[in-house]
C-alpha cells in the first residue's frame, strides 16, 4: 500500500458520522490537491470495514460513485442524518467536513 493510500484511508476514517468530504477535499488534505480522481479509485477499491467510504462524495455535494451501489451510499448517508435529494446532498456546505492538517514548511509537512 502506498503512503498516499495510507494517508487517504486515515483521513477518511476521521470524517465523522453525518458529515461528508469531497474526493478533492481528501486529496488536498493528503497533500496532493489535484489527485481527487486517485482518491476515487482508492475508495472504489477499498473493502476495509473501518473506512467510511460512503462519506466521500463528488464535487458540489453530488453522491458520486460507490462501486455501482449509489442507492446503498444514499441509504448509509441518510442513516447518519444526511438529507439526500436524488443524488445531491442537501445543505452540503454545512455537512462538509473540514480537515485540520498541519501547516507546510518549505514544501514539507511539519511533524
Query: Which of the residues are catalytic?
Result: 53
Q: Using CA atoms, how far apart are residues 68 and 84, in angstroms rounded to an integer?
A: 17
- Report the half-sphere exposure of 56 (CA within 13 A, side-chain side): 30
Q: In sequence order, what are the residues at sequence separation of 6 or more whose Cβ sits closer than 8 angstroms to the Cβ of residue 5?
A: 42
Chain center to CA of 3: 17
Q: Using CA atoms, how far apart are residues 30 and 14, in angstroms rounded to an integer?
A: 12
Helices (H), 14-85: 23-29, 36-45, 70-79
Amino acid at each position: 500500500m502506498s503512503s498516499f493510500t495510507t494517508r487517504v484511508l486515515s483521513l477518511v476514517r476521521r470524517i465523522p458520522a453525518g458529515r461528508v468530504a469531497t474526493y478533492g477535499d481528501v486529496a488536498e488534505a493528503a497533500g496532493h490537491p489535484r489527485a481527487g480522481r486517485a482518491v476515487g479509485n482508492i475508495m472504489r477499491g477499498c473493502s476495509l470495514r473501518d473506512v467510511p467510504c460512503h462519506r466521500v462524495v463528488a464535487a458540489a455535494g453530488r453522491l458520486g460513485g460507490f462501486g455501482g451501489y449509489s442507492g446503498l451510499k444514499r441509504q448509509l448517508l441518510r442513516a447518519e442524518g444526511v438529507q439526500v435529494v436524488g443524488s445531491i446532498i442537501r445543505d452540503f456546505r454545512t455537512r462538509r467536513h473540514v480537515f485540520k492538517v498541519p501547516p507546510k514548511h518549505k514544501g514539507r509537512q511539519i511533524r
